[in-house]
Amino acid sequence: MAYDDRNMGQLAHHVIAEGREKLSISGVEEVESFDEESVVAITCAGALIIRGNSLHIDKLSLDTGELEVKGWLDSFEYQNTKAQTGGIFRRLFG
């Protein structure tokens, strides 16, 4: 059996959507950017991009790795930032 150390020493990562109005995320290491239409959070599972309208960060604790985003959620997706070049802003707006 191959040894898999991808999650060793990392925070537990969960994403819980409550309808389309609230997203609770654990395993957050930092919030790279945010505005009313998108939130970019770096998690232990990769960069997580949340898109929607009237988004706001209701709770952020980097000590516990918790993030709560409220607003109207359209989508969220993970980006593999190490495999791509040009930075996250280039991928978002390029």
In the chain, what are the domains? 14-93 (2.60.40.2000)
The pLDDT value recorded for residue 84 is: 46
The pLDDT value recorded for residue 1 is: 36
Evaluate if pTM is beyond 0.85. Answer: no
Mean pLDDT of the chain: 84
The pLDDT value recorded for residue 52 is: 97
pLDDT in tens, 41-83: 999 999 999 999 999 999 999 999 999 999 999 999 999 754 4
User: How far is residue 17 from each of residues 4, 22, 41, 93, 94, measured CA to CA in Å?
Assistant: 28, 6, 15, 25, 28
